[in-house]
Structure 1
Amino acid sequence: MAVDTLVWLQDIDTSMEFRPADSLVMSCGTVTLDLDRGKVLLVWNRKYQIFQLPKGRRNIDESMLSAAVRETYEETGFRVRPLQLDIATRATPPNAGDGSASHQNPNITEGHPSTEFIGACLYPDPDSDLPALKTVYFFAATADSSATPESGTQEPWENLTPFWIHISEAPMKLRFRGEIAAVRKALGDVQKTGYVISSA
């Protein structure tokens, strides 16, 4: 076996880490946009007095996208629809042999509009009694900000208020840098796909 291969295998072995399922938290949420009004959907967390993106834990056997849509509905009362976007992803395209990967990087797939997640935030779970790594997968979605949200959708312990704000205000309102980055990524993918975002 070549020296380079041995070094490569050793690098993988050194950096690879196994974590049991009970030390990992998979959460899913959305960057929900009203493109016609130039708004993004946030939640005001009254317990911590901060603005956040809607998100929550995935149920057993639930797809990540379904979890993101469900959690957004439960936390805000708005029924959102996934946005199909041209997202640069490492997911394998439907026809992997058709040469559709990016010309810049053969490991990146582009040009396949999909409802893949736009990115993820990773951090230690502050709500866990035992050490756990939380990963929040964000998906782009759309909804009508002029609609009336349904009431009674939150869990008993949740204390959240939905707010539609102008997209330009998101960086000033959101508490976490990772969620600001998620909004910016969604907007970039929306524009790359050819959607028009109102500046009104």
Structure 2
Amino acid sequence: MASSKHPTTQYASDKFVESCGAILFDFAERKVCLVKYIPTNEWLLPKGRRNCGEARETAALREVFEETGYRCILHPVTMSTRAPPKDEKGDVADEARIVPNLTEPFMCTTRLLGEFNIKFIWWYIAALDKNGTTKSDGEANFIPEFYSWEEALKTITFEDDRRILERAIELVNVNLAVGDMPLE
């Protein structure tokens, strides 16, 4: 039996967990929401575990709401992806291409949790839901705060989260520059 020519690691379902999160933008104010995790005094991006049977997009929106108290919607951006467009026909080369108006994950983080466990975190870009911006309490251990993009980059605790936020801001800025995204 042949082996794959690509390095491969497999994880049974009891050895991995999926999380989903979103960078919550207030485009009207050019701000982004971070959450302070009170027990550790850390400033983080909102995220959490995906429930069984829950779509990743739904998990991201739910987790942002639970941790911030703000309703949001996934915000489409034009970005590079290796996934073929949904209307693509036939065999498509596995290569990056620019696709407009995507609400797909723009980043995936993997974290090793011990020697044989792993966490996958799928990251989305989200905007405040103008029809649901009334704030609820959110989870007790989190305090949400909106910062200018520059201040958020200085405030966030972990370098890995800073790189995720930088990429989200970069995508948003590129889309703003080409007129693909309104500031509302």
TM-score interval, normalised by the smaller of the two chains: 0.7 to 0.9
Show the counterpart of 1:114.
102
| 1:100-111 equivalent positions in 2, closer than 5 A | 107-111=95-99
Matched, 1:187 2:172: no
Structure 2 distance, partners of 1:63, 1:114, is: 16
1:159 pairs with 119, 123, 141, which one?
141
Change (3 A) 1:88 1:176: same
Matched, 1:92 2:84: yes
Structure 2 distance, partners of 1:143, 1:125, is: 32
TM-score where L is the length of structure 1? 0.78
Matched, 1:170 2:162: no
Q: Is the 8 A contact 1:34 1:40 kept in 2?
A: yes
Show the counterpart of 1:3.
none
Write 1 or 2 for the structure with the bigger share of helix: 1
Matched, 1:50 2:42: yes
2:135 pairs with 134, 141, 149, which one?
149
SS in 1 for 2:57: helix
- Offset at residue 33 of structure 1 (A): 0.6
The letter of the residue matching 1:60 is C
1:70 pairs with 39, 52, 62, which one?
62
RMSD: 2.6
- Offset at residue 182 of structure 1 (A): 1.4
Structure 1 distance, partners of 2:169, 2:90, is: 28
Structure 1 distance, partners of 2:4, 2:124, is: 35
Larger Rg: 1
- Offset at residue 192 of structure 1 (A): 2.5
Write 1 or 2 for the structure with the bigger share of strand: 2
The letter of the residue matching 1:150 is S
Q: Is the 8 A contact 1:54 1:72 kept in 2?
A: yes
Structure 2 distance, partners of 1:42, 1:77, is: 12
SS in 1 for 2:126: strand
- Show structure 1 runs of 5+ residues with no match: 1-5
Q: Is the 8 A contact 2:36 2:43 kept in 1?
A: yes
SS in 2 for 1:165: strand
Q: Is the 8 A contact 2:77 2:172 kept in 1?
A: yes
- Offset at residue 67 of structure 1 (A): 0.3
Q: Which runs of 4+ in 1 moved over 4 A?
A: none
SS in 2 for 1:11: coil
